[in-house]
Amino acid sequence: MSNSLLSPSTLPYQLPDFANLSIEDYREAFAEGMARNREAIEQIVTNPEQATFDNTIAALERADEDLSRVQHAFYTVHGSHGTEEIRNLAKELAPKLSAHSDAIWMDPRLFARLKAVVEGDQSQLHEDARFLAEKYLTSARLAGAELDDQAREKMSALNAEMAQLRTEFTSRLLKSTNDLAVHFTEASDLDGLSPEQRDLCADAARERGLDGWLVALVNTTVHPWLSVLTNRGARRRIYEATAQRGRQGNEFDTTELVTRMVELRAERAALLGYPTHAHVRTADQTIGNPETIRERIYPLAAPALANMYREAEALQELINKRQAELGEQTFELAPWDWSYYTELLQQELFDLDSSQLRPYLEFRKVLEDGVFFAATRLYGITFSPRQDLKAYHEDVLFYDVLNEDGSVLGLLLYDPYARETKNGGAWMNSIVVQSGLHGTLPVVTQNLNLAKPREGAPTLMTVDEVNTAFHEFGHALHGLFSQVYWPTQSGTAVPRDFVEYPSQVNELWMTWPKVLANYAVHHETGEPLPKELAEKLQGLGTFNEGFMTVEYLGAALLDQELHALAPGDTVGDLDTFTARALERVGLGNPYVAPRYRPHYFAHIFGNSYDAAYYSYIWSEMLDADTCDWFRANGGLSREFGDTFRRELLGRGNSREPMASFEAVVGRGPDMTPLLKRRGLVEETA
């Protein structure tokens, strides 16, 4: 066939020829890829020879090479430049791919062979091969391979419906987010925004044929501009529009999708013999079960809420003081006020105005002289821009990634800007995974959602956006440094509650003095960030940590509560369920909403963090402990960077992840560094 997706690409690094791929190319490649995969699986399960690692596990690793290639290419485009055609094809494909997967993983013939390999003599197998075989068997069990025919048929129907619902949720959420952009007609409504930000809003309004200004929404409940907008009414409109996503009562509403997915997941858990979906999802994670989540993570809610209320009192005092100075009536702190008055309080306590930092945080300097610089100092790798490759959008940047000796490590695609066809948030994605089996080098993407400036204007970032860039690059390093043989063990293919750990460690370098000094220079004058500003940024400590912990835990524990439903239970009214769940876990309050409400919780209803959003703080326990290890061993040290690369980043999922952690730190994890970081030590004790 002439379809370029059905054989390894001839472009450098086997990069897909995105510029010349049509919708029909993707559709055809999926159909043929599934057919080839089915044929390969049939050869495995009908093999008359005794099941061995080579004729079963290794054969499985080869069986989906073509289908995997098209999936990586298509879903990269779907998330980053999902046109209406792309999203419609994703809806068409969802039930087909679900049925295809179920036919493989619920095949009792395959399960019998997997079981025979695991229970047979493995003494001649390497550690990574033994671990791979055990993971395949666990995955098959969790897919329903041990069910009877009737139950397998029911499971397939549930999975097909969930696949359709998930794809539809992603589509509706994107449309709802675009539809609810807030239109302003009075210039004074945008007081506090920079001239560049106003220009972006004016351009956005013109693109829709509107006068005035249009503020695009972001994926989180709290919009970053709430920290600078002086007009309280404008702040409220943006906050309420953000919280309204997916709950508009129109064709973009996600309510019935969310409630149905929760109920289907509970029903699926019952088929598998588990009490709840949370038990299914944690069965193959490092945490083990939801009871451990309740034991280790739920208790953080009370001290976090106590911190948050202390912060609220300080903010209310500031509101009262400022209103008195203005001779105006005071008002009660509301959710849309928190960021604004926190910014003012930060200025008062630390003499630090976040707007002072933005001129020193230009995107290319942050990326090349900050993110890349830290990686070079730690690991010896370098980054070489190249202009000869094309991606799915003109904004994408390309970099060859080279080892210290000049050998090629992999290819990095960097996609920094927001657009209406792009999912919200930030993420890393693999286009080609490193594999000794296939002889492939890694090709990874990085996606941010920065506001694209007018032609010739600088892209200035917020501190949070810089932190996100460092975080996501930790995922990129996980993919780039992979040194495994089997493709399904490559890079970030680790348990969900371990995958965030390396990326959170990489955030450490954002404010590391040598790194900060290298990238934080004024975009016009070239002057370095004043020493006093750098010291203030590094010295914020646990300021506003109550808010941040409550905001995160609200989402994480709400996710757990949604997926703790027993089969037959119903969510009922989603807003009522949310309010009661937050009260139940000890996080009900009038000031800080969850980072994501269910209607726009894309992590758990559009992606694969369902019952696993806890993984960020579980990973942060490992991260905080590892950051202390780095600090104790010289910080930006090649020796210890190489240890982290060799023992953890390069290992992928080729052994138990916690064994990789212990190989780095030299012991099991300690929760104390996390409690100190979050300002919870005294209250927890």
Backbone angles phi, psi at 183, to 5 degrees: -95, 125
Tell me the three state secondary structure of residue 431: strand
Q: Which residue from 477, 478, 275, 256 is spatially nearest to 383, judged by alpha carbons? A: 477
Neighbours of 173 (CB within 10 A): 24
Residue that is written with structure tokens 């300080």 in the block: 314
- Quote the tokens at residue 106: 């619920």
Contact 80, 392 (CB under 8 A): yes
- Quote the tokens at residue 294: 């309740």
> Which residues does the annotation mark as catalytic?
472
Distance (Å, whole) CA 656 – CA 131: 8
Contact 235, 229 (CB under 8 A): yes
Distance (Å, whole) CA 378 – CA 374: 6
Dihedral (CA of 27, 30, 33, 38) sign: negative
Residue ranges in 245-289 assigned as alpha helix (H): 255-272, 277-282
Backbone angles phi, psi at 361, to 5 degrees: -120, 65
Contact 600, 245 (CB under 8 A): yes
DSSP string, 142-168: HHTTTS-HHHHHHHHHHHHHHHHHHHH
Distance (Å, whole) CA 25 – CA 28: 5
Strand 408-417 vs strand 382-385: parallel, antiparallel, or unpaired?
unpaired
**Secondary structure in 3-state letters for 368-428:** HHHHHHHHHHHHCCEEEECCCCCCCCCCCEEEEEECCCCCEEEEEEEEEECCCCCCCCCEE
Q: Which residue from 245, 248, 254 is spatially nearest to 218, judged by alpha carbons? A: 245
DSSP string, 332-363: ---GGGHHHHHHHHHHHHH---HHHHGGG-BH
- Quote the tokens at residue 681: 């030590």
Ordered strands of the 443-450 beta sheet: 382-385, 397-402, 408-417, 443-450, 427-432
Contact 649, 477 (CB under 8 A): yes
Neighbours of 27 (CB within 10 A): 16
Neighbours of 569 (CB within 10 A): 12
Backbone angles phi, psi at 452, to 5 degrees: -80, 125
